[in-house]
Chains A and B, each alone.
Chain A
Amino acid sequence: MQKLRRPGPWIALLLVVVAATAPGWMGAYFLGIFTTAYYFGVFAMSWDLLFGFAGEVNFGPTFLIGLGAYGAGLMNNAGIPIPLCLIGGAAIAVVGGVLLALPALRLRGPYFGLVTLVAVLLLLDCIVIFAGVTGGEIGMMVPDVLSIDAGVNYWYALAFLVVSALILFGLSRSSLGLILQATGQDRIEAAALGFNVTKHKLAAFVISAFFSGLAGAMLTFYEGTASVDTVVSLAITVQIVIAVVFGGRRTILGGILGGIFLILFGELLRPLGELNTFVVSAIALAVIIFFPDGALGWLLRPRDPR
């Protein structure tokens, strides 16, 4: 009962209800923007689990997203229906996550960061080299799409976002999240306290991979194509980083705010033309320096009782 008196869950519920009615009052263009932003929100939340909680700089989120997207796209091209493709894409991403986690169990900090970066570079090279199957740098069309109606696409994305947020947020508040957090701050102490650091990190990797891959697959069936540019490129990694640091690391839900900020501001600033990326990056940099807890972290920070 104590919990229900706090405003947080109620605000969240209100926001979800308001968001769910959006197709009634929002134009198709803004619905499209929010649809993309919600998928980015899931990318960001999955990444936060590793970055914020486990303290690992993973430069390879697009390795997992790309595996999910291309896995699902290839299956769909082989005539498999969308729901199975989504499951398949997520499964392929999980396998990739485990492979990527193997060096993660040995490496720390920048060394780990580089290996994840290399995973992305190798995936990029493979996609280009096996262009016959993957479509190379021009990307791969998928025969089926979720829906051609902007409102329906929006609801799919919103539902996916809400479910992912509930699960990821719940996990982050469970013992797994606490142990990961302890590991991120002091690995040796966490191990000394008897936690199996390796096992928990592997779990974090698998969960992160599952949601990243699934989101990548969903995005593919929304856009109708999977391409290097939309799901694998390092530019996407950078956007995920921006989303998380802006929203507030180690908050999970901050990733949603960050994703919306990133996509919406990128669009609102479009009249700036080529400089919109500059402004978005500058805002994110200012947030890092002046509000290292990010937007949500700042909102939730206990005020000085003064």
Chain B
Amino acid sequence: MIALQILIDGFAVSALYGLGAVGFTLIFGVSGVLNLAHGGIMLVAALLGWWIAADHGAGPYGGAAFGVLMGLVASYVTYFVVVRPIQRSRAIPKVEEEIFILTGTLLWGIMIQVGMDYIFSNNPVTMQPLIPGVVNLFGVRTPWNELMIAAVCWTTIGLLWLLVNRTRIGKQLMAAAINPRGLTLLGFEMSRIYLIVWSIYGVLAGLAGVLLASFFGISSDNVGNLTASAFTIVILGGLGSVPGSLIAAYVVGYAETITAYLVAPTLRPIPALLILVVVLYLRPQGLLGRR
């Protein structure tokens, strides 16, 4: 009985972690950017979605759609205001670009957090569940919303897989990830590819933010944790590897859920951190990372 509960709860949580992390790893894979404003972008999507739904009567679906749109906008702003100027700066040597982007997006994430605090206060909010009610799943009372969130996550990930593997755009992205210089030589505009990948990222992060807000609730105080957990999952899975991130999301999600059920809810985050340290010690490139 408890095993079944852990199985069901862990599945949805992990799917949500996975969705949050996939966009993060994709950007790194294609453009070498680690976006530490990730939690901030999820927050923007969730808060603005909640705001339009609760204050302007847009309803749960309207709010969710608006939130995803705002995630996209936040992603573009991050790219154009923070990341691209650093990438194009002539004063920053190429070898140090990564460090500058890390610190730049870190600062940007803080600005988003404080700005959202200022406008909406740090009070946690929740989006209305898209489907209310519960269903009895083999004796485990499960909210419909939880099942739906897992389904949306996996559908989105599936669509992403199709996009990457079955379309021209996807093939260009893959090529950019493997050999950007070769792609440039073939006459492709890298800036267009970056724009595409930041668009995909914005939608994924926005969706993750909105779903998170409807599943657990979100507050600007969570920004740091959201970024840290995406960072953890992506590194554990191996930077740039989408399947690796998904596996890592499930490792972390289940480690946390099992700890909360069987050990103690106070110790919830610790086993995942220990797993991470051990894995990185044995496999410095993460589970499925390439070197």
Contact = CB atoms under 8 A, between A and B. Distances in A.
A and B: interacting chains: yes
A274 B117 contact: yes
Q: Chain A interface residue count: which class?
A: 35 or more
B235 A111 contact: yes
B281 A186 contact: no
A110 B32 CA distance: 11
Contact of A278 (B102, B111, B276): B111
Contacts of B100: 288, 292
Interface in A104-147: 106-111, 113-115, 117-118, 121-122, 125, 129
Interface in B77-128: 82, 85-86, 89, 91-93, 95-96, 98-100, 102-104, 106-108, 110-111, 114-115, 117-118
Given A115-B277, A121-B269, A284 B107 contact: yes
Given A125-B269, A186-B95, A114 B281 contact: no
Contacts of A125: 267, 269-270, 273
Contacts of B224: 234
A68 B269 CA distance: 24
Query: Which one of A129, A241, A281 has the highest number of Cβ atoms from chain B below 10 Å of its Cβ?
Result: A281
A121 B114 contact: no
A282 interface: yes
Contact of B110 (A57, A111, A281): A281
B191 interface: no
Nearest to A113: B102
A245 interface: yes
A164 interface: no
Given A111-B280, A111-B285, A289-B89, A245 B228 contact: no
Interface in A211-236: 234
A281 B107 CA distance: 6
B239 interface: yes
Nearest to A277: B114
Contact of B104 (A109, A129, A288): A288
A107 B238 CA distance: 12
B253 interface: no
Given A238-B106, A238-B110, A277-B110, A185 B86 contact: no
A212 B267 CA distance: 28
A110 B266 CA distance: 28
Query: Which one of B111, B232, B276 has the highest number of Cβ atoms from chain A below 10 Å of its Cβ?
Result: B111
A51 B235 contact: no
Contacts of B274: 122
B42 interface: no
A241 B103 contact: yes
Nearest to B88: A289
A108 B111 CA distance: 28
Nearest to B121: A274
A108 B86 CA distance: 21
B274 to A, nearest CB: 8
A285 B175 CA distance: 32
A9 interface: no
B286 A111 contact: yes
A293 interface: yes
Contacts, number: 108
Interface in B226-273: 228, 231-232, 235, 239, 266-267, 269-270, 273
B158 interface: no
Interface residues of B, number: 44
Contact of B103 (A55, A108, A186, A288): A288
A275 B285 CA distance: 39
B284 interface: yes
B280 to A, nearest CB: 6
A170 interface: no
Given A55-B96, A125-B270, A241-B103, A106 B85 contact: no
Query: Which one of A117, A121, A277, A285 has the highest number of Cβ atoms from chain B below 10 Å of its Cβ?
Result: A285
A245 B102 contact: no
Given A111-B285, A122-B273, A103 B280 contact: yes
Contacts of A245: 103
A180 interface: no
B70 to A, nearest CB: 19
A106 B228 contact: no
A114 B284 contact: no
A285 B281 contact: no
A234 to B, nearest CB: 6
Contacts of B235: 110-111, 114
Query: Which one of B34, B108, B224, B280 has the highest number of Cβ atoms from chain A below 10 Å of its Cβ?
Result: B280
A172 B72 CA distance: 44
A118 B273 contact: yes
A218 to B, nearest CB: 26
Given A118-B273, A278-B118, A57 B89 contact: no
Given A55-B96, A111-B280, A113-B102, A281 B114 contact: yes
A241 B109 CA distance: 14
B219 to A, nearest CB: 15
A242 interface: yes
Nearest to A297: B91
Q: Rank and list the top 10 A-B pairs by shortest CB-CB distance, nearest first.
A: A278-B114, A285-B107, A114-B235, A281-B107, A292-B92, A281-B110, A289-B85, A292-B91, A281-B111, A277-B114
6 contacts: A111-B239, A185-B93, A238-B106, A238-B110, A281-B114, A285-B82
